[in-house]
């Protein structure tokens, strides 16, 4: 079963701020043994109506019944909470999770697959992700992946990357942003931070929440420009470099 997206799409479209998060591809833990459809109960039922309705119901109900909290909760939920958002539909904004490389789960993690296996999945997965994002028309796209995956984003760029948040740490953690244009002409803001084992894994849940509050301020005041002593500007041409070199 491909997982096109995770979350309640009706509540997402009703949200004042439309937010999507981005990973690489679903984990094999989405289909645990001995009950592979534990997290997608609607797919287990023998219904006689349209299959597409059954499939979409399984996606929309994901966070209502045994979601893979061990990943979603530490990865993105604190950052979303700072934006008055959640995957769980219990805040003003309901977020949707997407995967840029493929909607298919793999037995190995993405980075453990061979390059030929990755390219095979990306050949259909990356275009499908762009079509999904065009359909979702998010205001905010949150992602924390390696620098190489950023180059997969093919939407027209409005401006080069700029740093919008810097943590006070021995090695500062930077959150960088740029705007892209979707096929409808809508502009979406991408916010990126370096990944560890989990998205934004170099910082605590408390810091993620504070970053979310800051991004909420930016979304409330589109013309607001952070006051930095130094302008952190990066050319989109540098995205093939190591993301640590680009973003600190």
Q: What is the model's pLDDT at position 88?
A: 98
Q: What is the model's pLDDT at position 231?
A: 34
User: Could you tell me which residues come within 8 angstroms of residue 46 by beta carbon, excluding any fewer than 6 positions away?
Assistant: none
pLDDT tens per residue across span 47-65: 556 788 889 999 999 999 8
Average pLDDT over residues 85-94: 98
Q: What is the model's pLDDT at position 65?
A: 87
pTM equals 0.88
pLDDT above 90 (res 188): yes
pLDDT tens per residue across span 7-57: 999 999 999 999 999 999 999 999 999 999 999 998 887 655 678 888 999
CA distances (Å), origin 237, targets 134, 218, 240: 24, 26, 7
Distance in angstroms (rounded) separating the CA atoms of residues 236 and 192: 13
Distance in angstroms (rounded) separating the CA atoms of residues 12 and 16: 9
pLDDT tens per residue across span 92-148: 999 999 999 999 999 999 999 999 999 999 999 999 999 999 999 999 999 999 888
pLDDT tens per residue across span 191-248: 999 999 999 999 999 999 999 999 999 988 654 444 443 333 333 323 334 444 444 3
Q: What is the model's pLDDT at position 47?
A: 59
Q: Which two tokens stand for residue 116?
A: 């030929």
CA distances (Å), origin 51, targets 31, 38, 39, 60, 70: 20, 18, 18, 14, 30
Contact by Cβ (8 Å): 152, 126: yes
């Amino acid at each position: 079963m491909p997982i096109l997206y995770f979350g309640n799409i009706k509540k997402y479209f009703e949200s004042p701020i439309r937010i999507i998060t981005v990973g690489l591809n679903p984990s094999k833990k989405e289909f645990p043994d001995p009950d592979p459809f534990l997290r997608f109960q609607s797919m287990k039922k023998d219904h006689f109506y349209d299959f597409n309705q059954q499939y979409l119901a399984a996606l929309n109900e994901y966070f209502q019944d045994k979601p893979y909290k061990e990943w979603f909760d530490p990865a993105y939920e604190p950052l979303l909470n700072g934006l008055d958002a959640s995957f769980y539909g219990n805040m003003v904004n309901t977020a949707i999770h997407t995967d840029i490389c493929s909607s298919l789960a793999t037995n190995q993690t993405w980075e453990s697959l061979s390059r030929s296996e990755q390219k095979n999945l990306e050949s259909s997965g990356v275009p499908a992700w762009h079509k999904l994002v065009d359909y979702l028309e998010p205001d905010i796209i949150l992602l924390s992946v390696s620098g190489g995956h950023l180059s997969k984003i093919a939407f027209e760029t409005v401006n080069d990357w700029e740093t919008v948040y810097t943590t006070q740490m021995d090695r500062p953690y930077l959150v960088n942003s740029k705007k892209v244009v979707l096929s409808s002409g809508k502009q979406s803001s991408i916010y990126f931070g370096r990944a560890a084992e989990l998205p934004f894994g170099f910082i605590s849940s408390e810091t993620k929440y504070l970053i979310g509050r800051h991004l909420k301020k930016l979304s409330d005041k589109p013309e607001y420009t952070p006051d930095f002593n130094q302008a952190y500007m990066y050319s989109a041409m540098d995205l093939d470099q190591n993301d640590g070199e680009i973003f600190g």
